[in-house]
Amino acid sequence: MKAARKPRRALAWCGYALALALAALGVGGAVAASTVDPAFQPVLARLVADGFSETKLRRLFSRAEMVFTQKAMADKLTALYMRKYGLRLVADVQGRLAALGWYPGPVDGRLDRMTRWSIRAYQTAVGLAPNPTASEALLAELDRRPEHAPAGLAFPDFSGQEVHDVVLTPERLAEAREFYVRNAKALARVRDRYGVPEEYLVALLAVETRVGHYLGDVVAVVNLASLVAGEDPSRLASAFAYERPDAKRQAWLDAKAMEKGEWAYGELKALLRYAEAQGIDPLSMPGSIYGAIGICQFMPSNALKYAMDGDGDGRADLFNVDDALMSLGNILRAMGWKPPMTEEAMRKVFYGYNHSQVYVNTIMGAAERLRADVASGTLKP
């Protein structure tokens, strides 16, 4: 079935482009929009064909903020490509670092913990701001400043559990504790209704959004629309210029772009429906690079299913703390949270929320620290 569906989906963009051309000539519908970013015109056409109000969509897509960006799709495809094949750019950085004594691992094109540590170590040594990513700018610095590692450089042991270290810093844990105290009543209501202890709710939010302090620096509807537009391979060519994928790998990239774009289209529709139901301007909602929204970072399809009114005002606003906490309890219960819970069962639920063992490890670590604070009396709800 998958092999049969792909050709039809691949032809979709041609169909949308034809519909737009006909509309511009006054034939068929009236979807042509001269003020809409050209990359988004096929997206608008699809939404209209699926029953969304053309008037509202025109108003939304004609606003200055609605500008296509390739970053969301490029980042997603880069991560997938690196996992499958390794990245030429990362391998070149690893090779240069290894030659200078900063990197002891394999030159495999994968940005693992050791590679990130080695990049930071080199950057610190030459006076650059630590930024553990592979880039052409870093390659240029390595060529310009080939600083050798000191003799006998001790490399860290990364055999233990990996966590997002920044979440467990004193500053970030202090934010979590303050949130715990300030929202003790709302947290208790969620625990009573869904059986999720306060420390796990707070720990998850500490990982997702710094307990509401960071909701994303992009607009969710723009990124989701951009992911849909990114199904068109021509819009992403520059993102893989350094990699120079061969025909087989390019075909794989094109198929992945179509797959992720189709997923994003479902989330875009869900976001527009959620915004309409809650009376929220879609462009007022910040989100993750892949469209997750709110204090608890729900994907829009989950917002439609699990968002709850936690403060009794008749709305389920995921940017409202009471609503977000109740919604979080609701989705965790749906994912399998049912006391009493073993650690293995809790880990399974959190992995369902975000498919990353590092993510799960960090939640468990933050929750352990909060629980110890409560037990010792240093954290008093």
Token pair for residue 308? Answer: 């709850």
Q: Please name which of 238, 229, 252 lies closest in space to residue 82, comparing C-alpha atoms.
A: 252
Give the pLDDT confidence score for residue 159 in this predicted structure. Answer: 86
| Cα–Cα distance for residue pair 107/126, rounded to 1 Å | 22
Domains of the chain in start order, with CATH, are 2-61 (no CATH), 73-144 (1.10.101.10), 165-215+294-376 (1.10.530.10)
| Regions of the chain short of the pLDDT cut 50 | 1-33
Question: In terms of C-beta distances under 8 Å and separation of at least 24 residues, what long-range contacts does 159-167 make, across chains too?
Answer: 161/361, 162/113, 162/357, 162/358, 162/361, 163/358, 163/361, 163/362, 163/365, 164/207, 164/358, 164/359, 164/362, 167/206, 167/207, 167/362, 167/365, 167/366
Give the pLDDT confidence score for residue 38 in this predicted structure. Answer: 95
**pLDDT tens sequence across 87-113:** 999 999 999 999 999 999 999 999 999
Give the pLDDT confidence score for residue 34 in this predicted structure. Answer: 54
| Cα–Cα distance for residue pair 184/207, rounded to 1 Å | 19
The residues, ordered by sequence, that sit 6+ positions from 163 with a Cβ below 8 Å of its Cβ are: 358, 361, 362, 365
What's phi and psi for 293, nearest 5 deg? Answer: -130, 155
| Cβ pair 70, 238 in contact under 8 A | yes
Residue type, 291: G
CA dihedral 235, 5, 32, 69 (to 10 degrees): -30
Query: Omega into 156 within 30° of 0, i.e. cis?
Result: no
